[in-house]
Structure 1
Amino acid sequence: MYLSLRDRPGAGPAADPSTDPSTETDAPTGTSAPGADGSATSGRPVGRTVLVLGFVSLLTDISSESVSAILPLYLAVVVGLSPAAYGVVEGLYQGVSALVRIGAGWVSDRTGRPKWVALSGYAASAVSRVLLPLVSGLGAISAVITADRVGKGIRTAPRDAMIAADAEPEHLGRAFGLHRSLDAVGAFLGPVLAFVVLWLIPGGYRSVMVLSLAFAVLGVALLALFVPANAGAVARPAPEPAPRADRVRWREVPTPELLRVTAVAGVLGLLTVGDGFVYLVLLDSGGFAAHWFPVLYVATSASYLLLALPLGRLADRFGRARVLVLGHLALAAAYVCATLLADRSVVAGTLATVLLLGLFYAATDGVLSAVAGQAVSERVRASGIALAQTAVALARLVAAVGFGVLWLVVGPTAALLGVAAALVVVVPPALRVLRPGRAG
């Protein structure tokens, strides 16, 4: 893939002085100078802001994933939580960000400054890293995790809106794929960091947490210093004659296309079991020692890293909605491998599981934002993305709590196989709802 900095509007000998990059302008980052017919022109599918935001996510994911890689093991083995209690914590981790996603997206659209909304979210997560090594007990840990996830909820939609604004419409899947690839590098390195620390310092969970703080601070600094202040801002026409005529209104957000995407994503989210549960099932098979637990996150992130960009490009060609829905078949296959195949061969079952989990995330994570972002106008893009992501986050919160209870009632194998079967049943009608011409 050819990557370079976006052509600067107005560059060239015949450039209009009003578009000269040396002068101040309210035009959003990634927009292009209009051609003779008034249409936008650009030769760059991915702009600089996408790259910078990718590295911000890389550093932030090193921070967050190093902690999340030890959290299931720490809570289940060290703290001694039951599967149902761990399901509550996993639910908070997956879904509490839904409390602020829509509000953050709305504020981003209303103010026209998504960078600053996203920055506040990254900063909130960094502050939670300061507190995490200092607290003990389930209640205090849950409160800190909640703060971290609230920060994630604040930053996600404005960040994705900046990515969508910095990419050409026909290359949205590629732009999100590139960002998610860099994000996956961080998700790969974070568990590696946790594994190395636990290898060198048995029981060194707080050491992992301290190191995660350093990477969180670096991510905040990179966003603050290198992403333009007007990144993702939508240029609005001059207020004539009514100065308030261009105000963003909520009723612009829930378009029929977006509601279909949100409904399908929410239903599929109810059948998405957190990775921590899947890895605990693999650990329960007895095929590896506990200190290897973070390596499962490493392997999943490596699979995601390899597949995110190709799946983004496939989504652009094959259909983003199709890829989004069909990616859940990979998730169902991962659940089968974690149970049936792992019982026969731990190595084969584990490798197949992490590969399929990476395929699932590559097919759905960035693609959901691309589909939702194209289902609304650019004026309310962040709010539209936030609405879809909120539905998924809330659904996964319910799924985590429900699966923890299901584990206690029927056991992990039957629980995972039941969810896999439900996914297979739901995918065909989901494809019909998001058929070409209706979404994506």
Structure 2
Amino acid sequence: MPDKKIIGLEKNVFFTGLVSFFMDFSSEMIYPLVPIFLSSVLGVNKSIIGLIEGIAESTASLLKVFSGWFSDRIGRRKIFMLAGYGISTLSRPIIALSALWGHVLVFRFIDRFGKGIRGAPRDAIIAESTPIKDLGRSFGFHRGMDTLGAVAGPAVAFILLSFFTGNYRLVFWLSIIPGMLAVMVIVFFIREKSQGAKGSRGQVNVPGNRDSNPRILEPLDPRSFDWHFKAFVAIATLFAIGNSSDVFLILKATNTGIEETLIPVIYLCFNLVYALTAMPAGILSDRIGRKRIILAGFILFGFIYWGFANASEQKHIWGLFLLYGVFMGLTEGIQKAYLGTIIPEKFKATG
């Protein structure tokens, strides 16, 4: 007898979306305030801010591959999710107590370390719990919930700063609460697929028993992936090299005269558009093809960054952030859904 669904989604998909809602609620209470906190409170220049973000994001990107590969080898997803979300939540007091930019660097490193651990196994749980025909819908829902949390976070931060002007540390402390809720949902509601359960391709997923699963011992060999996967990774890597951290877009906003207290509102609007775009884009990608939607997103991205480079008025910044939300909705979840169709089953989390 099939498991009951929640709003038409597999239970794991729904609860994974709820986890991401709470964690992004927590993260986005902090993230848009970090460059302002560094520059106005700690007096850090832009080059140091860039260094912090570069280390943080590269940490997440590298760890995502290795945590996914290790998750594939041992056949376990939930433990990596729990560790990743738990580590990120426990990093919050570091920035709340920080007095030097080095403390913020440690916070960002640990926070992104947690993100790097949890991302690929979490996506694998979604892919393994979903019929292949519904992958776009499931990842679109997940990204939508993720981004609704990213709307709630800046909204709460803005409200708090409206009452407690300049008290960034209070916001950082309170961000622990939604992070803990995310961890609790993982503990009580996320369920690993049992040994021999079928995945999104109708193939047998990675069992948890090493003795009955000899392929666990296989190394990560590039020859295991076909040219579709390699081409996609090459394109995504080239795109990532040309992309910059969002903190520089935030600093660009302040340079045009937008008040610091309005930065959470800008980020709220960006994430709201992202949330409203993600699931419809996912459903559309299931119908007309995921590559077409991703390509449209990449083209839009080029226009957006050209706009940021030339923007000189506040209204331009507001409009560009809204378009940036559309771009994220067109690409983030759909790229993962596309990977779910081209990556070998035995490396589901590695990808």
TM-score, normalization by structure 1: 0.72
Other structure's SS at 1:247 match: helix
Instruction: State the 1:212 CA deviation.
Output: 0.6
Worse-superposed segment, 139-148 or 273-282? 273-282
Query: Which of 353, 371, 382 does residue 349 from structure 2 map onto?
Result: 382
Q: Partners in 2 of 1:45 and 1:315 — Cα distance? A: 18
Aligned to 1:346: 314
Alpha-carbon distance, 1:290 to partner: 1.6
Secondary structure at 1:264 match in 2:
helix
Instruction: Choose from 313, 316, 326 the match for 1:359.
Output: 326
Is contact 2:94–2:104 with CA below 8 Å preserved after alignment? no
Aligned partner of 1:298 among 268, 273, 280: 268
Q: Who is 2:55 aligned against?
A: 92
1:276 maps to 247
How far does residue 257 in structure 1 lie from its aligned partner after superposition? 1.8
- Structure 2 counterpart of 1:372: 339
2:35 — aligned with what? Answer: 72
Q: Which residue of 2 aligns with 1:176?
A: 139
The answer on whether the counterparts of 1:66 and 1:208 sit within 8 Å (CA) in structure 2 is yes
Question: Paired residues, what number?
Answer: 339
Following the alignment from structure 2 to structure 1, what is the Cα–Cα distance between the partners of residues 194 and 187?
A: 12
Q: Secondary structure at the match of 1:96?
A: helix
The structure in which a higher percent of residues are helix is 2
Aligned to 2:12: 49
1:215-254 matched pairs, under 5 angstroms: 215-230=178-193, 235=204, 243=212, 245-247=214-216, 249=218, 250-251=220-221, 253-254=224-225
Superposed CA deviations along residues 7-45 of structure 1, whole A, max 9, x for unmatched, are x43xxxxxxxxxxx7xxxxxxx99xxxxxxxxxxxxx97
Distance in 1 between residues matched to 2:298 and 2:205, nearest whole Å? 39
Q: 2-side partners of 1:356 and 1:244: how far apart?
A: 46
User: What is the one-letter code of the residue matched to 1:276?
Assistant: V
Greater gyration radius: 1
Q: Distance in 2 between matches of 1:295 and 1:244?
A: 50
Alpha carbon RMSD of aligned pairs, Å?
2.4
Instruction: Check conservation: 1:75, 1:81, Cα contact below 8 A.
Output: yes
CA contact (8 A) 2:93 2:173 kept: yes
Distance, in Å, in 1 between the alignment partners of 2:42 and 2:267 is 21
- State the alpha-carbon separation in 1 of the partners of residues 82 and 280 from structure 2: 29
Is the aligned partner of 1:196 residue 2:159? yes
Deviation at 1:253, TM superposition (A): 4.5
Q: Which residue in the other structure is 1:130 paired with?
A: 93
**How much identity, in percent, do the aligned residues show?**
31
Distance in 1 between residues matched to 2:17 and 2:165, nearest whole Å? 32
Q: Would the aligned equivalents of 2:32 and 2:250 in 1 still touch at CA under 8 Å?
A: no
Q: Distance in 1 between matches of 2:206 and 2:303?
A: 50
Task: Pick closer, same or farther for the CA change 1:78–1:237 going to 2, 3 Å.
Answer: closer
Decide whether the 8 Å contact of 2:30 with 2:171 is kept in 1. Answer: yes
Work out the CA distance in 1 between the residues paired with 2:61 and 2:272: 27
Stretch deviating more after TM superposition (59-68 or 317-326): 317-326
Instruction: Decide whether the 8 Å contact of 2:205 with 2:345 is kept in 1.
Output: no
After TM superposition, give the deviation of residue 231 of structure 1 in Å. Answer: 7.3
Partner deviation per Cα, 1:269-324 (whole Å, 9 max, x = no partner): 111122221122122111x3221111111010011011001111222222212322
Change (3 A) 1:170 1:237: closer
Does structure 2 retain, via aligned residues, the 8 Å contact 1:236–1:246?
A: no
Distance 1:236 1:120 in 2: 22
Using structure 2 for the length normalisation, give the TM-score.
Answer: 0.90
Report which stretch shifted further, 88-97 or 169-178. 88-97
Question: Separation in 1 of the partners of 2:244 and 2:145?
Answer: 24
Note the residue ranges of structure 1 that are not aligned, 5 or more in a row.
1-7, 10-20, 22-28, 31-43, 385-440
Question: Is the contact made by 2:94 and 2:103 (CA closer than 8 Å) also made in structure 1?
Answer: no
Q: 1:140 is paired with a residue of what secondary structure?
A: helix
**Alpha-carbon contact 2:17-2:146 (below 8 Å) kept:** yes
